[in-house]
Amino acid sequence: MKNAHLIYNPLAGRFPAGPFLDRAVKVLEGEGWSVQVDQCLPGKELADLARDAVAAKADAVFVAGGDGSVGPVAGALAGTSTAMGVIPTGTANVFATELGLQRMDWSHWFAAEEAAARLARGQVRLVDIGECNGKPFLLWAGVGLDGKVVNSIEPRERWEKTFGVLNYGILALWESLDWTGMELRVKSGERTWEGRYLAAVASNIRSYAGGVMELAPSAMVDDGQIDFHLIGGGSLIDAVVRVVQVLLGMHVDAPGVVSFQAAEATFESAYPLPVQIDGEPAQVGPFVKFTTRSRTLRLLVPEGTPARVFSPPNTDVTGESA
């Protein structure tokens, strides 16, 4: 019998998911798993619970929460023999959506047990972890406007999460009113870019901004590369234009936008920068280094995950089923 820890963040999501997790646990137990539920209580970090599971030689950690919960757990499990499975009970759940899982919301009450059933029949794959000044991220890290927005609105009360992307969009517009961009010097290998940018994002997945935009259409979670997008501009009008370009898929080759893939890059500014890491607020100094840890996380991939998420010809399947 395989053993797992299910780490639950009770603060994640539009409503408490705890009552629904019992059903998910029963599904996993029905598939031959022995499951220990660890609730993240005040004074305990999600990453600490993940490390405890590794020390207990757990075969897998199922993390029930949103992207802000998944990221720290992924960072703690990277480089270990313990796999991670995602049970989407957060607000946006962009990473879970990339994997083809339905997030729990008012119209999908049983998303947790559905995810558990698909994960129990899935496979283990090796995926990348990015690092921003040594801090791991699974989805993205962004400096500039998106970092400013996240730092201004997080942490949110649960009632605010009820409005999801709409609430985020309104606050993003408000924060854009006085945002004049940032002067950055970006270097990757022998290439250098300098200019004024609204935002600069390092992405490991395609989707962005709560999943409503496809910022990095070429991103794959296991290619050993980070997809970088430097969004030029310095005003609210520029921000509106860029949003429209991203929504229409016209941003990659647009004038004033720099897009490139690399295993590492550095950002330099004259002053500290607001940053978001997997949708959580953080602050960094004027120098930011991004690096990739290639295929270091064992990820439980549910049945039906879109093939585009991974590099062809899918050579990194470990051969293990969940």
Q: Tell me the β-bridge partners of 213.
A: 208
Query: What pTM was estimated for this model as a whole?
Result: 0.87
Instruction: Give percent of the chain with pLDDT exceeding 90.
Output: 52
Architecture per CATH, 135-293: Sandwich (2.60)
pLDDT at residue 176 greater than cutoff 70: no
* Residue 167: per-residue pLDDT: 61
Give residue 136's pLDDT.
Answer: 94
pLDDT value at residue 20: 81
pLDDT at position 274 = 87
pLDDT at 106: 62
Cα–Cα distance for residue pair 301/304, rounded to 1 Å: 9
> Exposed e or buried b for every residue in 76-96, given b needs 16+ CB within 10 A?
bbbebebbbbbbbbbbbbbbb
The gap from C-alpha 260 to its chain's centroid, in whole angstroms, comes to 19
Question: For residue 321, what pLDDT band results from cuts at 50, 70 and 90?
Answer: low
- Residue ranges of the domains in the chain? 2-121, 135-293
pLDDT value for 159: 40
Better-predicted residue by pLDDT, 258 or 249? 258
Instruction: Give the model's pLDDT for residue 13.
Output: 55
CATH architecture assigned to 2-121: 3-Layer(aba) Sandwich (3.40)
pLDDT at 160 over 80: no
Rg for the chain (alpha carbons), in Å?
19
Whether the predicted pLDDT of 153 surpasses 80:
no
> Residue 241: exposed, middle, or buried by beta-carbon count in 10 A (0-12, 13-18, 19+)?
middle
**Mean pLDDT to the nearest integer, 91-98:** 89
pLDDT at 314 over 70: no
pLDDT tens sequence across 4-18: 999 988 777 566 677
What's the pLDDT tens digit per position in 77-88?
999 999 999 999
Average pLDDT on 194-204 reads: 94
Tokens 């953080």 label which residue?
282
Q: Above 50 in pLDDT, residue 276?
A: yes
